[in-house]
Amino acid sequence: MAADHDGGRTVCMKAGRDDQQALLSHGQPFFYPAYVGPKGWIGIHLRSQTLDWDENGELLRESYRLVAPKKLLAGLN
């Protein structure tokens, strides 16, 4: 998690290319993060009024599946 230029809180998560483009097309709370955006990551403004916390949880789980070692993925349901 990081603070952006206006003091808000943000987090970056890995996404598939198609998912990344779809989420970014929605605009807030999603943004294209510098440095890691080209590698398939999305940024999320956590203080955004449009943030859906259920969707955020799903995105976090999917992000973990994309970056976790296979050994750790084997224990997931």
- Compute the residue count for the chain: 77
Positions of E strands within 1-77? 2-3, 9-14, 30-31, 41-45
> Residue 2's pLDDT is what?
54
Q: What is the pLDDT along the chain (77 residues), one digit of tens a residue?
A: 454 555 678 999 999 989 999 999 999 999 999 999 999 999 999 999 999 999 999 999 999 999 999 888 887 76
> Residue 13's pLDDT is what?
95
Peptide bond before residue 29 is cis, with ω within 30 degrees of 0: yes
Q: How many domains does the chain have?
A: 1
Range of the domain at 36: 2-73
pTM: 0.82
